Amino acid sequence: MATFRHICDSVAVITLSNPPVNALSSALIQALQKALGEAIRDSAVEAIVICGDKGKFCAGADIREFNKPSQKRGPHLLLLTDLIESNKKPVVAAIEGVALGGGLELALGCHYRVAHVQARVGLPEVLLGILPAASGTQRLPRLIGIAAALTLITTGKYVPAREALKLGIVDKVVGENTVDEAIRLAKKVIGQPLGSRQLSTLPVQCPPNVEALLAEAMVKVKKQFRGAQSPQACIEAVRAAVHLPYTEGIKKEQELYQFLNATHEPRAQQYAFFAEREVAKWTLPSGASWKTVSPQPIHTAAVIGLGTMGSGIVISLAKAQIPVIALEKDKKQLNIGSKAVISLLDRETLKMKQLGHTEATNSLGPVRFTLDYGELRDVDIVIEAVFENMILKKEIFRHLSGICKPEAFLCTNTSGLDIDEIASVTDRPQMIVGTHFYAPAHIMKLLEVVHGRYTSSISISTAMQLAKNLGKIGVLVGNCPLFVGNRLMVLYLQQAIFLVEEGNKLEEIDQTLENFGLAMGPFQMMDLAGLDTLWGCHVEHGLARPEQSSGISTHHHSSKRYSQLLGILCEKSRFGQKSGQGWYKYEKPGGRKAMSDPWLHNFLSEYHGVNNFKTQKITQEKIIEWCLYVIINEGFKVLEDGMASGPEDIDVIYNSGYGWPKHTGGPMYYASLVGLPVVLTKLEKYYEANPDIPGLKPSSLLKNLAALGNPPLKEWRALLGSWSSKL
Ligand SMILES: C[C@H](O)[C@H](C)C(=O)SCCNC(=O)CCNC(=O)[C@H](O)C(C)(C)COP(=O)([O-])OP(=O)([O-])OC[C@H]1O[C@@H](n2cnc3c(N)ncnc32)[C@H](O)[C@@H]1OP(=O)([O-])[O-]
């Protein structure tokens, strides 16, 4: 790792070099400081260009060093940005690839910025539980104004070069030779006054309603990142830029940074960041891994079934520029499905145009619609996305076996059906993979890649690579009923329903869990997913009984507690958002705004009386424990069964697929934050009082770990040698 400089005429070029993303480690900052000092002192140098090695400017501070004590982290980037800005020689940043976090702050210290057209810039610190701590919160508002700076700093959004140019973050965008262009610019501005280019000296342009703007931003982040402190601290830092001179603003930025660093949030978010990258590097117990098994190239794909899931999958593939054949069973369905796909494609094209892709229409892969299975003969992969019915799926896979080329991978988008049973009817069980997409499939990041008993490592490697190519996070899971995400989720939803049966208000339960940070409370989530779908799933997986008798709940079977409420609501045609009423009512079928429904409250109090449920109103703290600890407990059972490679996989599934708040790291990380012995004691207490709810019975893995105290999550595997993945 080094920072070196060479002189090109009178311009010194300093190259940041710390593969793979030129993160600013203490060593790199030190080397940069040294090179800058030399360039500034060297009388032959009249201007300086800073660029990054291998086409990447810089991805910001080295996150791996965050847990080092700050005094051991060497010189602070902040001082460096001041040094660059205040020196008399013009400094130009040549931005290729990314300028993120400290990388962008470094560029903002420079007097000019030239960016490659494909570069992206941003201040993503908020997504790591911190804030830009090298003057970003003070310099960016001075450059682009309060409103735009607030958006960037509180969302962590990455901005493509053309948008950055419009915002005024960069001075020039080029299609090639970024460094050469930066050198040209540097030569041109030698000797020109730098005053207007020194951002720290500029006044912040404030609109008259600046306080209203800040207050509005605060309301927005409190809703969007419930329970997280860093977005609020980001706004406070920008407020300082509005009211204080630069040096005072910097003091406030540092204070807020220290404050955030003393909370658990940065460590949780940073854990989540690395967990996402780790799970993508799958390894099987056989030793096969992403390093040893090459994925097969996917040049063409087919999707069967153009309902909500299938349409989203088609768009995902098209966005990854993979040509798709979209198949439906009859003309009517094809007509409906193709309209849905075309309208989504149009929306994606528009979005891309807004992001500055001028040839957006060409950047989506072509989609062809058909009724003819024969057209699937030569595709590299088929993703079946018909509704959840084993008989139908088997029929399709039997058919595909006879049609598709022998090298084609056959995937099923199921949210919990047995992959092995599907594989058993094909001529190539080793090439059958479960690909569980999340709705809407062209937006949600998560893809559970399900490893069946016969699935080969090449099939896994190909599916995991496909996830990456689709811009998704692939997480490898075992073929257990409902796989991992939904296996934990159904128990959580059931717990929430039990609370309602005991007289607690569903709005309060939703609100409490949303305040904890979940994107959506359980009842709103059920309405979104469809109560009929969930009811079917609960019956199929033994969480409810198929028989119903209006209003009367049979709440026990084989000494296990059940709730029939979902079924009863479905009998009343309350299917959730799609029918305009479920746990809540909506302005119309398909409406999104959930409103409390007096009818439901009357119905529930009658139901409560008829069924003689004991009333147990519980506190917000207990709502959280009661609902979330079953997720954690079942997570441990998943690990015990070997259905996930590690706790990180479960956390990534929840963070990216279920709206779990990343500032708590994920359910398993959250368990370690609360303390495993505490979680265990609570579960024991709840189970003792409710022996009819198996989800509350503490897992033996949790017991074993808790017996060791509260070992850090990264040590769990080593401590329990016998627990191993059965993927
Ligand atoms: C003072 C200042 O205010 C502060 C306080 C800060 O600056 S805080 C820091 C702010 N910066 C960020 O938040 C940037 C986060 N990174 C990203 O958004 C992405 O990584 C990427 C840059 C857009 C590349 O994406 P990619 O899809 O091409 O590959 P990858 O798999 O993601 O990443 C490739 C490899 O690089 C590693 N990596 C990425 N960014 C890193 C970073 N900032 N530090 C250390 N390692 C990093 C990553 O772990 C992976 O490693 P490995 O797994 O190969 O061993």
Q: Quote the ligand 1 centre to 276 CA distance (angstroms).
A: 11
Active-site hit among 85, 96, 105, 507: 105
| Three-state DSSP state, 475 | strand
Classified by CATH at the fold level, domain 2-262 comes out as 2-enoyl-CoA Hydratase; Chain A, domain 1 (3.90.226)
Separation between Cα atoms, residue 636 and residue 615, nearest integer Å: 30
Separation between Cα atoms, residue 51 and residue 182, nearest integer Å: 9
**If you ran DSSP here, which 8-state letter would residue 16 be given?**
E
Q: Which residue has the tokens 């008993």?
A: 453
Higher pLDDT, 693 or 611: 693
pLDDT of 544 higher than 80: no
| Beta carbons of 142 and 204 less than 8 angstroms apart | yes
Which pLDDT value is given to residue 361? 45
| Beta carbons of 576 and 528 less than 8 angstroms apart | yes
Separation between Cα atoms, residue 489 and residue 487, nearest integer Å: 6
Least confident of 219-223, 339-343, 402-406, 560-564: 560-564
Domain boundaries 620-722, corresponding CATH code: 1.10.1040.10
Active-site hit among 125, 163, 507, 625: 125
**If you ran DSSP here, which 8-state letter would residue 355 be given?**
T
Q: How many residues does the chain have?
A: 727
Separation between Cα atoms, residue 186 and residue 93, nearest integer Å: 10
Q: Give the type of residue at 333.
A: Q
- Is 715 in the active site? no
Model confidence pLDDT, tens digit, residues 217-273: 999 999 999 999 999 999 999 999 999 999 999 999 999 999 999 999 999 999 999
Q: Quote the ligand 1 centre to 25 CA distance (angstroms).
A: 12
Best residue among 63, 67, 278 to mutate for probing ligand 1's pocket (most ligand atoms within 8 Å of CB) is 63
What's the mean pLDDT when you consider all of the chain? 93
Model confidence pLDDT, tens digit, residues 13-57: 999 999 999 999 999 999 999 999 999 999 999 999 999 999 999
User: For ligand 1, what atom is nearest to the CA of residue 131?
Assistant: 3
User: For ligand 1, what atom is nearest to the CA of residue 281?
Assistant: 53
Domain spans in the chain, listed from the N-terminal domain onward: 2-262, 301-479, 486-611, 620-722
Pocket around ligand 1: residues whose beta carbon is below 6 Å from it? Answer: 20-21, 23, 59-64, 77, 98, 100-102, 105, 124-125, 128, 130, 132-134, 136, 277
ipTM of the complex as predicted: 0.99
Q: Quote the ligand 1 centre to 1 CA distance (angstroms).
A: 17
Classified by CATH at the fold level, domain 301-479 comes out as Rossmann fold (3.40.50)
pTM: 0.95
Best residue among 21, 139, 152 to mutate for probing ligand 1's pocket (most ligand atoms within 8 Å of CB) is 21
Model confidence pLDDT, tens digit, residues 446-468: 999 999 999 999 999 999 999 99
pLDDT of 360 higher than 50: no
Q: Any residues with CB less than 8 A from the CB of 306 and at least 6 apart, and which?
A: 314, 326, 327, 328, 333, 334, 336, 337, 338, 340, 341
Same CATH fold assignment for domains 301-479 and 620-722: no
User: For ligand 1, what atom is nearest to the CA of residue 133?
Assistant: 3
Model confidence pLDDT, tens digit, residues 547-593: 654 555 557 767 789 898 999 999 999 999 999 999 999 999 999 99
| Beta carbons of 426 and 457 less than 8 angstroms apart | no
Q: Quote the ligand 1 centre to 23 CA distance (angstroms).
A: 7
Position 73 confidence tier, pLDDT thresholds 50, 70, 90: low
- Is 502 in the active site? no
Separation between Cα atoms, residue 134 and residue 22, nearest integer Å: 17
Q: Quote the ligand 1 centre to 256 CA distance (angstroms).
A: 23
Classified by CATH at the fold level, domain 486-611 comes out as N-(1-d-carboxylethyl)-l-norvaline Dehydrogenase; domain 2 (1.10.1040)
Q: Give the type of residue at 391.
A: I
